[in-house]
Structures are given as structure tokens and as C-alpha cells.
Structure 1
Amino acid sequence: MKMSPPDDSSDAVPPLEPGIYALGTVESGAAGSNPPEAQYAKLLLSSSANLANGYRSTMLAVASMMNRAAEFLRPAVRALGEFLVSEDFARILEEFKKVVERQLPLNWRGVDVHHYSMMKALLIDEGLPLAWVPPVGILERVLEASSPADRRAVIGRNWRTIAEACAEVLDGVGEKRLAEHVGFAKEASAALLSNNISASQALSANLMDTILRKEFDPAYRGVIVSQKTKFDFEDHGFRIAMVLGPIWVAHGQYSPSAGEAIPTRYSRHATAHGVSRRQYTRINATLSLMHVTALLKMLDVDFEWSAEHEAH
């Protein structure tokens, strides 16, 4: 039996039936008057028109809703704008600023609020003691400096003014229990002002160690100096953290037995165990004095001394 050749008409496009397409009804004309390709084109055009009309209707509805919302909110927005430029809002903002400033050491009061965001990085990452000293003018120059090296340079250029400011802050420490510590801190300030840099740095560093051992219980002292965990700014009162955070940084690991180079940044351990011109510098002596000054002022104003503590 011979195979018949395929019927060429099997690949022809079947005619469309009228009225069965949801997106556009196709009306059939007289037989043979409307070829299938034309019917598809007509269907495509009809469907596209329907989609465009639907999209246009939706966008008009959304625009109408947005206009109504704008009309509804316009009085409130106008009132808010008027309030934000009013004297009442200015007074509220000023009172809020005063509330924030009362939580800061005196030398931070009046500092541009835009610098507040830098505070934690400078205290914890760079270990700069910036509470109570330096004076506000120098503090602002430190905050405006663009790098750690530039910030240290600001402190180095203003060491004398900072040393004098430390003496003034120490004069304001009134807690009797701290009187002996304050006396030694003033000696460290006088030594620095007399250009006895090494004597000042050594005295300040050892005095800080003495205060931590005498005025803090072992557990709290461990939190301040231990390098097993990073100092957590949030675990302490704000002004207290501003003082203790940089002290934690100053106790960073230094192991001469492991062949570590003596650091040039201020280090309590290097001051004690790495005496050299790399560690003993005017900038480090100034930073060491700033640490102990801030620590004593913190104990004076942010700690409550109980009768039991006084008898200790």
C-alpha cells in the first residue's frame, strides 16, 4: 500500500468563530470576505484598545484619589510648616537642646549637634579622652579634623591650653575622698606645663591605675580594663561612658615579650612597660593627663558616695 502525500491544507489557519473572544468580538462577514490574518489583526487592535482604555481609567482614578488626599492634607501641611518656622517651635527646640546638653560634660555644651554622631567613634575607636577637657574651642577643632592623625595634631598644638584647662577642672573637684588623687593630678599638670613631659606622663598613667584599683570594685574595674570583650557604650550612663570608653582603649593589649613594637599612640601598658621616645611624647603626656582629669571629674559629679564607701 502506498503512503498518501500529506494534505497541504492541514497547515492552513482555521477560520475564527465569531463572538467567542473575551477581549474583542470578531464579526464574521460573508464567506471568503475576511481572511483569517485580517481577523487576527482586528482582534489584536481591539484587545490593545481595551487594555489602553482600562489603563487610562485606572490612572485617572489614582490621580483623582491623590488629588483628594492632597486637598485633605494641604491644611495640615500648611499648619505644620507655619509651626516649624514659628517662635514657639524655636523655643521648644532650644529647650530640647538644653535637656540634651545637661547630659553632656560642660565642654560639650554649645558644640554643633552635627558632631554628636562622631562621638562614639572618637571615644571607642580612637580612644580620645574628650569629656570635661579639652575646652570647647579646641574640642570643636578636634571634631572638625578629617583624620585620627589630624585630631592628634590638634591636641599636640594646643597642649599648653589643655594642661591649663585640666588644672581648672581639677580645682572644681569637690569630693573630699578624691583630694589626694587630685593633688597628684595637679602635679602631673604642673610637670607638663614645665615641659617635664616624661614625668607628667608617668605620673598621670600610674595615678589612673591607682584610682581604678582604689575607687572601683574588682568586677567593675574588669569591665573598664579587660580586653576580652569590647567596651559597651550602652551599658553605662552617658557621661560615664564618655570617660571610661577611652580608658578601656588606653588599656589595649601590648606584649613586648611577643616582639610587638612599642606603640606611638598613648598606651597605659606601653607607658609602664615600654619606656621609650616612641611612647613618651608631649601628645601622649597630654592625653594621659586628660584621662585622669576626666576620671576624677566623673567620680566627683556622676558617682554617689555612700557612708560605707567613705569609711572604706
Structure 2
Amino acid sequence: MNELVPLTIVGQGAIGLLAACQLQRQRLPVQLWLRHNESNLRQTGKLSVDFTDLSGQSTSHIYTSVNASVFTTAPATPLITRIVIPVKAYAVLPCLAELQPYLSSQAQLIISHNGMPELEAYQQQLKAEQALWFLSTTQAALRSASGVQHTGIGQSTLAAINPTARKQSASQQQALLQQLTLALGPVTLTADILPVLWQKLAINAVINPITALHRCRNGELAAPELAPLISALLREVCLVAAAEGMDLTYASNLSRVYQVIEATKANKSSMLQDIEHGRPTEINAITGYLLRCAARHKLTLPHNERLLAQVQQLAQGQS
């Protein structure tokens, strides 16, 4: 790599821990930004993670944990220069506000989550010389009580979001791309992330809410009785995409949805995992986003609207 900058990863989510374990296995510097709300973290400031790779091989990893208290008690601690923020969509803005005092003035921030990002709002949280990136990934991982399991290989796409990121030199961009490729690769760099986000949104708007409602793994969505619902949801997504000026064709995306269902048939969607663990879901950044777009164009999406209400009701029942 051109530049061995330590990478900080926020939280203990599946994708974040997957990236951390992949990097540590290659002896690359990585640390986790965590709230010390667990007894082992309060006592040691370390997090132990069991990682199972795609081949079923397991390894144990221990990570240094940093948070605001570390900077309070150790004033000489270097400010964070490169950080990945793979948190839920609803947690991004509070997370950025919390992190800002501990970021270097030229920090690089890489945000990654399901659903459509609030890119303008994210930029408002940054200083002028801080670079903002968005990483869209289809890597699949399952969080357990003791660690994380890599359950499916996917593609990741990285895009510069603000002028500072776009103005970085080719060598700076390449160094970041190489590091992220080792963590969540393969990663490609794109000048326009919107087409990628809409394609992922089309898949997430189908797979996530249906699996959450039916409490099933992805592969069960191939059942013939669910085909009409999948078709109706996707047609509504394509209708909104067209109104937004995006070329999202129904036939090709329906094929892509079923390809993902087959490729990830043993996986649990992130929304199902959230429901099972009593956590808030990202339904507002996925289906909710579609409905907000539809309202601007005076479109109605009855199937997506019904699904949103059902998932919200289910989530409330779990809380």
C-alpha cells in the first residue's frame, strides 16, 4: 500500500467487524471506536471478537477500543485521520456530531449503510478540509454474541461526496481504495454513486422488509406465492426511480433481485437481524425514502406503503 494510515472503524456491527477482522488478519493497523458500555470494555478497553471466514475457519481477534474518554484522559492521543462509519442510517448524524471533536482537520470519513444517505446533511457536519466518501457494499456478515461470520462475498463501490474528497490526488485516492479493498473488497471507485444506490435500494426494498415480516432467510423469498408481492414492490420502485430521472428497468432488476435471493439464500437480511434483536430498523431510509420521493412526484405506492406500516408495527411490537 502507498500509505499505511491506521483505520478506525465505528461500532460493533457486522460489516464493521468484518472489515476489522479482514484487516487484522493481514496485520494492518485497525482500531474500533466503541462506547464502553460492556463490562469487559470498561475494565480493559479491549474487545475480543471471534471471526469465521467463508471457508468456516475461525480466528480470534482483540481490538484496542477508543472513544471520547480516551482523548479526555490522554491528551497526546493523535486525532483520527481515517475512519469508516458503518452504522445504521438513522445513527449517522448523531455519530458525526459525536466524532467531530476527535477528527483531524483533514480527516477522511467513509460512511456506509443501507438505504439512501442524507449526503447534504452529512456534509454539513464536516469541516471544509475533511473528505467525505460513501461506500455501498453487498458483503454479507452475521453478528453473533461472541463475534462475526462472513456469510457472503459481494461488491463494494466507493464515491467521493464532497469537493475535498473529489480534489484528492490520484495517489491519495488509490491508497484509500487499496485499504478498503483489503477490508471489504473488491472495491471500485465511481464518480456517480446514485445509480449504484438505486440498484441496491431496489434490492433492499424487496428483500429486507419481506424477510423481516416473514421471519425467514433470503432463500425463502423464491417461493412462488411471494412472486406477486415482489413484482408489485419492484414495479413501484422503478416508477419512483423514473420520476427521479434514474434508469431502473423492471425486467433487469427483477432478475437481479432473484439472483441475490439465490446467492444469499442462507443469509438473514440486516432488517430481520434487527427485528430479532429488538433494534430499530432502517425501513425509513429504504421504503420510507421511496415514499417521500413518491410524494414529491404525487405518486402512490400502495404495496410499499403497506409494507412500511407492517414493518413499523412489527418493530414496535419487538421494543
TM-score (norm 1): 0.23
Q: Which has the higher contact order (CA 8 A, sep 6+)?
A: 1
TM-score (norm 2): 0.22
Q: Which has the larger radius of gyration?
A: 1
Query: Greater share of helix residues, 1 or 2?
Result: 1
Query: Greater share of strand residues, 1 or 2?
Result: 2
